[in-house]
Amino acid sequence: MPISRFPSVSRRAALRMGAAGTALAITVPRTLAAGAAETRLTNAQFTEAKLLARWADGWSTLGDPQKLLALVAADVVYEDVAVGDTVRGVEPFRGLLAEAAKAIPDFRVALFDGFATETMAAAEYEITGTQTGDLPYLKATGKPFRLRAASIFTIENEKISRESRYYDLARFLTQLGGLPGADLPSLGRPAAKPGGRS
């Protein structure tokens, strides 16, 4: 199905998703009732839309890893594309979450945009935090960072079976002082509205 056929979720549906849902303009396939021109969400589509909001909340509360672990399949694959690291399976993923919580206890994810279907999802978001603990490739700096990022998900049986995360590693390391000498401009919110409309 072409992307252009994924309209924005209605305001009423966003309100049903709660506070996290209202911050995210999730797009879903259109289902038209006979003779009606309004967008409706099926139960499955509503579940997938909530999945992204719950995913963002899970990454924003790493002190409670069960929030994220409840969303992933037992054989989940998490790929950090920028670093080139891949974790396979729920127990290694649990270990990664523990490492992230120790290194960046105030790790937060704020969603900008996203869409979800029964088998795939994508999200654009901002990551913020302060690196108060060691990362595998950088000793603790005590410095804050702010990044824009995107993730592509595979969904199976309403669980995340794969997440591939993309972000600018050079910008991340520059903010933390691990890549001195780079003078990168600061990033704001996305330049376009959902669907590429400016």
Question: Per residue in 124-177, pLDDT tens?
Answer: 999 999 999 998 888 999 999 999 999 999 999 999 999 999 999 999 999 998
The pLDDT confidence band at residue 47, using thresholds 50, 70 and 90, is low
| Structure token digits, residue 68 | 């994220």
Q: How far is the C-alpha of 112 from the C-alpha of 54, rounded, in Å? A: 14
Q: For residue 139, how many C-alpha atoms fall within 13 Å in the half-sphere facing its CB?
A: 0
| Residue found under tokens 């002190």 | 63
Buried b / exposed e over 101-135, threshold 16 CB at 10 Å, is: bebbeebbbebbbbbbbeeebbbbbbbebbbebeb
CB 142 within 8 A of CB 130: yes
Higher pLDDT, 94 or 27: 94
- pLDDT score for 191: 62
| Structure token digits, residue 106 | 């105030």
C-alpha 80 chain-centroid distance? 12
- pLDDT score for 45: 54
3 state SS of 23: coil
